[in-house]
């Protein structure tokens, strides 16, 4: 068997991050990777085509992160996600997004 443990960076709005230069580029890359992962999860949860019975195309190749997680999301695997949120009202939007993301992962059926 194989076990994969991944600590995903939190997504943050570039305007709120205060990042400049190298940090700004890194923040943009992280957000792009997380967006690609979200797209993969959405595609995996999309209903099959009623005419062909085929699943929607899953865009694993859109980022290195999604290519690395291919075996952990698709095929014959068990996936566990632990989502960390902040109960403070100032983080309500980010916490809601995190919980929605986790619910998408929980819906994946292989």
Report domain extents, the chain. 14-106
Confidence of residue 109 (pLDDT cuts 50, 70, 90): confident
Cut 0.75: pTM above it: yes
The CATH fold of domain 14-106: Methane Monooxygenase Hydroxylase; Chain G, domain 1 (1.20.58)
Per DSSP, the three-state class of 65 is: helix
Token pair listed for 47: 């209903």
Instruction: Quote helix, strand, coil % in the chain, to nearest 5.
Output: 55, 0, 45
Greater confidence (6 vs 20) lies with: 6
Contact 63, 33 (CB under 8 A): yes
Q: What are the tens digits of pLDDT across the range 54-88?
A: 888 999 999 999 999 999 988 888 888 999 999 99
């Amino acid at each position: 068997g194989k076990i994969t443990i991944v600590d995903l960076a939190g997504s943050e709005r570039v305007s709120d991050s205060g990042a400049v230069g190298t940090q700004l580029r890194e923040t943009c890359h992280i957000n792009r990777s997380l967006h690609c992962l979200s797209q993969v999860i959405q595609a995996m949860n999309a209903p099959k085509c009623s005419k062909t019975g085929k699943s929607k195309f899953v865009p694993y190749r859109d980022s290195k992160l999604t290519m690395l997680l291919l075996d952990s999301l698709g095929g014959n695997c068990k996936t566990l996600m632990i989502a960390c949120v902040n109960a403070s009202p100032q983080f309500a939007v980010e916490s809601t997004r995190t919980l929605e993301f986790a619910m998408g992962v929980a819906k994946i059926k292989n």
